[in-house]
Amino acid sequence: MSIHSSVRKVTTHVLHEMKLKGEKIAMLTGYDFSLARILDQAGVDIILVGDSASNVMAGYETTLPITLDNMIYHAASVVRATSRALVVVDLPFGTYQGNSREALASAIRIMKETGASAVKLEGGQEIIESVERILSAGIPVMGHLGLTPQSIHKFGTYVVRATDDDEAKKLVEDAKKLEATGCFAIVLEKIPANLGEKVSKMLRIPTIGIGAGSSADGQVLVIHDMLGITQEFSPRFLRRYHNLNAEITGAVKAYIEDVRSGDFPNEREQY
């Protein structure tokens, strides 16, 4: 029997077993109770309360403005909806870089106030002290390398990362360092597929790819993108599984028409 079909609760240990057995890990982002419940009941292995909430929930252009309080609100809603999936929460920009004590305090707030199981931090060597300190409190940490949207002002664009030898070498070193420090998994975002394959084969911990090729041990997409709620964002790695934008627009237009024409509510829909 496959691991994913037999476990009632996904843990970091389960994810390691899945990698050992060659079972791919399915992760999606989630930010609210109602959608998270659907994701959990559908059997997704990990729900990431991503700081992409800054974009898709709050309408900011980047992930930088979202606050720790905002993330805690989203994460607590997701945890209330979840019984099987592992819930991982992004530490937002400015809550862990350059100050490992603040990093630990931020991670502790997330764990205490949301009931989530792990946190995710962007970066490699630069944030290793924060990763170490959070791990020392027994809080599982997921790494994130490649395109790290919290550093958008350093990169300047959202193009594919680590296409040159120096950056690819640094990414490999960072991945080794994150694993050696104790991260339980690493997200690889928007890097060449052959580099994704190299890192995934090199590590014992699972990699979760988003635009990192098919060799990653798992995949993640932003739920609003894969459902086709967002329309303007169309990177090559994004597969849209539905066009919810059109479906919702159709339903809302029908409702408006029914209200205007007096067709809604009808006799059976009133007291």
Please choose, out of 44-52, 92-100, 239-247, 263-271, the segment that lies near ligand KIV by the rule CB under 6 A: 44-52
- Name the residue nearer to ligand KIV (CB basis): 136 or 142: 142
SS3 label, residue 90: strand
Residues binding ligand KIV: what is the number (CB under 6 A)?
11
**DSSP-derived secondary structure letter, 98:** T
Q: Does 220 bind ligand KIV (CB under 6 A)?
A: yes
Instruction: Give one DSSP letter per residue of 4-56, joined into a string.
Output: HHH-SS--HHHHHHHHHHTPPEEEEE--SHHHHHHHHHHT-SEEEE-TTHHHH
Least CB distance from residue 189 to ligand KIV, whole Å? Answer: 6
Distance CA 82, CA 85 (A): 6
Q: Is 257 a catalytic residue?
A: no
For the chain, how many residues are written?
A: 271
Q: Does 90 bind ligand KIV (CB under 6 A)?
A: yes
Taking CB under 6 A as the criterion, the residue among 68, 89, 134, 187 binding ligand KIV is 187
Q: Does 91 bind ligand KIV (CB under 6 A)?
A: no
Interior angle at CA 116, CA 112 and CA 121, nearest 5: 95
Both structure tokens of 51: 């700081």
Given the residues 17, 189, 247, 269, the one annotated as active site: 189
Q: Does 219 bind ligand KIV (CB under 6 A)?
A: no
Q: Does 29 bind ligand KIV (CB under 6 A)?
A: yes
* Interface with ligand KIV (CB under 6 A): 29, 48, 50-52, 90, 187, 189, 210, 220, 222
